[in-house]
Amino acid sequence: MAIESYVKNILNSPEATFRKIVSKIVQESDKSAKIELVRQHMEVDEVLFLAIKSILNDLKIEESLFSQLLYKYLNIELVKNKKREQLIILGTQLKTQYSRVKREQSRVDTHILNLTLSLDNLKRLKDAFDRNRDSLHRNREINKSDAFVKKLRIIIEELSEYRDALRHKFVSLSETERIYHNLYKQIPRYYELQDESIMTLLVVPKKQKRFSWS
């Protein structure tokens, strides 16, 4: 069924039908966005970073280049170094935080996608009302159509503001992720580090399905 047919049916139905359709399109993406925007996002742990950088510098001074390469590529330690053990412990904390940043990025990106899908469908519905307006003859239908378009514009503006704010948050998280990534890769044998606990990681919300008009 063409979207214009939906518009005619909506105008001939109680206003509750319009509200129900809009609610189905939005699918609570606005509520999820509000929750995400008030949620404090991950920032760089300055104390942890300073500690790791300090140990990395000490290891460069205390160990020869040959010794560093043996450990980095062959996992061979000529001399046991307690600072290397400390680095593994701190590196584990770093990876746990790094994983959290990436999961927060994924969660925010999902909210942005959901809002975008909602906005696309709301705009399609609003445009359909606009196109259908010229074919209306009764003042009651015209006024009702104009009222619905006005409400749609308000919702579209609100969701657009949420999306812009979430995009700003995503950019901030991306910068944090870049900083973590750079330090993480400086730790010898970083790929062997494990997260402290996967139980503390945030759950990514399900992606919203595209609303179908047929």
What pLDDT shows up at residue 166? 98
Better-predicted residue by pLDDT, 157 or 72: 157
Q: How confident is the model at residue 23 (pLDDT cuts 50, 70, 90)?
A: very high
Q: CB of 115 within 8 A of CB of 166? A: yes
Cα torsion through 188, 194, 195, 196, rounded to 10:
-100
Give 32-80 pLDDT, tens digit per residue.
Answer: 999 999 999 989 999 999 999 999 998 888 777 777 777 777 766 767 7
pLDDT the model gives residue 167: 98
Q: Which residues lie closer than 8 Å to 213 by C-beta, 6 or more apart?
A: 1, 2, 3, 6, 124
Stronger pLDDT, 160 or 81, i.e. the higher one: 160
- Show me where the domains of the chain are located: 41-196
Binned at pLDDT 50, 70 and 90, residue 202 comes out as very low
Taking the C-alpha atoms of residue 209 and residue 28, their distance in angstroms, rounded to an integer, is 12
Rounded distance between C-alpha atoms, residue 106 and residue 122, angstroms: 24
Query: What is the pTM (predicted TM-score) of this model?
Result: 0.80
The token duo for 199 is 């139980």
**Better pLDDT: 66 or 147:** 147
Tell me the pLDDT of the chain averaged across its residues: 86
The candidate with the shortest Cα–Cα distance to 122, out of 30, 38, 207, is 30
